[in-house]
Amino acid sequence: MAVYTDITDEELSAFLADFDLGQALAFKGIAEGVENSNFLLETEAGRFILTVYEKRAAPEDLPYFLNLMRWLADRGFPSATPIADRAGRTLKTLRGKPAALVQFLSGLSVRRPTVAHCREAGEGLAQLHLAGEGYAGRRVNDLGQPYWAPLFSKHRKGADDLKPGLAATIDKDLAELALAWPRGLPSGVIHADYFPDNVFFRPDGKFAAAIDFYFACDDAYAYDVAVTLNAWCFEPDGSFNATAAAALLTGYQRRRPLSPAEKQALPILARGAAMRFFLTRLADWKATPAGALVKPHDPMEYERKLAVHREGLTLFGAPA
Amino acid sequence: MAVYTDITDEELSAFLADFDLGQALAFKGIAEGVENSNFLLETEAGRFILTVYEKRAAPEDLPYFLNLMRWLADRGFPSATPIADRAGRTLKTLRGKPAALVQFLSGLSVRRPTVAHCREAGEGLAQLHLAGEGYAGRRVNDLGQPYWAPLFSKHRKGADDLKPGLAATIDKDLAELALAWPRGLPSGVIHADYFPDNVFFRPDGKFAAAIDFYFACDDAYAYDVAVTLNAWCFEPDGSFNATAAAALLTGYQRRRPLSPAEKQALPILARGAAMRFFLTRLADWKATPAGALVKPHDPMEYERKLAVHREGLTLFGAPA
């Protein structure tokens, strides 16, 4: 949660002059997303979110993300539509940084998803996968399995600082994941960061929208399901909630049934997905200055999930 | 700009259950105010700002602030109205901290006020002073003149760290201010923090609203005018913009003409007002951890304003 870039009223007026949205009526920095600066903007034409892209988002990837959001919205998926200026551009510049204006979406994220939320979130994820079919943009998953070992090599000491002996355990995990990593599963556009804070629900508990597509890429759909299981189906005490997981998978399969190969691959994909978030949190952990108001996510939460996955999950009756 | 307290969807639901505002439709932490946590809340009944009071606001002062906001709004002054729950309470508790819900106000603050903005802001301040007449609440200005010397005694070293010899200069200023400080000027409710980021304008440039009444107290109206002159009428290079100041005073006097005694007192009041903000910024400067995302205000900005006021301002023709 952060606002890294400060926008003056004059800069905002100059920005809005390129659009047919009337004048600004209200403008507030909002605490959403840790990677970019976000502002709630109300104009005579409605409500919008203005995002100024900071460090992590690579400028060359932004057209992929913005075009994807438009593609999904055009196909009826509830994601924020980017707003084009009079020249048809959605990717703009503000204070010398890339910026975009998207439609404001109503809905609330939940901190502790219920089983019912997991079912809805699963169904929403399948909708997203189906809506993404045919999207022409391509983006390699640069946080996918081939990238984990090189990333870890830079942070081995950090792992041992967190827990003596952890680096050797992770080395072994990485070797096992490399050997067992499934290939050839159905693939396409995945969200890759479908966490509870990126999913909105309506007051009646129904899926309302997904936001924050800035990790979206091409990868196996079942890997996205695995990321989602990790993010939604663990209890605060670290135990895996099999009922929530079953509901999430039921919800998903209402829209997109999983193939036998996908079902069989889920436990190893979930172990890999836990590795991916452990590694990026480990890298961010040391990089955050003491006293900073943005608290980095605890890598040990994902180390505990990794430990659960080392034992092997049972998702569809018999152990995989 | 900060959100210090994290509110879960469950805490929000429990909070809203005391009100007749329907269910939450959207909820976002906003980067407004450095002292408290603020959230934009949309419910079936409209839009609101939820404030959770953190460290600086003394809990015993909150009824004064909330009742004042209601008093002003009831008298037609555009400030956010606190919303009462079914039991008639505006001061609530959330996560064990005091909290209140107020109406959302449209309008934009300006970074670099024009002369026209200064005129409008001055008129808005006079409206505020008039609307506050008759308010029964009382609050001593605990950042007023009698408190400056004791506050400075704790931060003398910090002043010399900023600029060698500064502590002795401030001592002399404090002695001169104590001798010359005017007494018996017309007094009542003042805002005491009427800075550009606490004032909203409409798209046509007209005064729209004032926010953030959490320094409001009883003191001389002309002191509030002096705080406002310091906040609105200095150029980024440190020079005093006499045209902006004249416009601010003209706008103010459209609604509330200043007495000869108030006019004569303005230069010394402005010097004192510069001292007050220099001292609190000096105190906050050392207290902020390095790397914190909330950047403290630079005390030296107000040290430069103090230096301008030491020479004496000319506001109404002949030097005071």
Which tokens belong to A123? 């169904």
Cβ distance B108 to A3 less than 8 Å, yes or no, reads no
């479908």: which residue's tokens? A194
Q: Is A60 on the interface with B (CB under 8 A)?
A: no
Cβ distance A28 to B32 less than 8 Å, yes or no, reads yes
Looking at chain B, the whole-number percentage of residues with pLDDT higher than 70 is: 94
* Nearest beta carbon to residue B108 from set A24, A30, A293: A24
Q: Give per-residue pLDDT as tens, A187-241.
A: 999 999 999 999 999 999 999 999 999 999 999 999 999 999 999 999 988 899 9
**Measured between alpha carbons, how far is A40 from A54 in angstroms, rounded to an integer?**
17
- Going by pLDDT thresholds of 50, 70 and 90, the confidence category of residue B42 is very high
Q: Give per-residue pLDDT as tens, A127-153.
A: 999 999 999 999 999 999 999 999 999
Chain B residues close to A289, C-beta within 8 Å:
290-291
Q: Is B290 on the interface with A (CB under 8 A)?
A: yes
Which residues lie closer than 8 Å to A6 by C-beta, 6 or more apart? none
Cβ distance B28 to A32 less than 8 Å, yes or no, reads yes
Q: Give per-residue pLDDT as tens, B70-87.
A: 999 999 999 999 999 999
**Measured between alpha carbons, how far is A132 from B214 in angstroms, rounded to an integer?**
49
**Measured between alpha carbons, how far is B89 from B76 in angstroms, rounded to an integer?**
21
Selection from B113, B69, B100, B114 nearest residue B210 by Cα = B69
Cβ distance A111 to B30 less than 8 Å, yes or no, reads no
Chain B residues close to A42, C-beta within 8 Å:
106
pLDDT at B314: 80
Q: What is the ipTM of this complex?
A: 0.78
Q: Which residues of chain A fall short of a pLDDT of 70?
A: 1-4, 33-34, 288-295, 317-320
Which residues lie closer than 8 Å to B257 by C-beta, 6 or more apart? none
For chain A, which domains are there? 9-103 (3.30.200.20), 115-311 (3.90.1200.10)
Q: Give per-residue pLDDT as tens, B159-183.
A: 999 999 999 999 999 999 999 999 9
Chain A residue with minimal CA distance to B24?
A: A203
Q: Is A116 on the interface with B (CB under 8 A)?
A: no
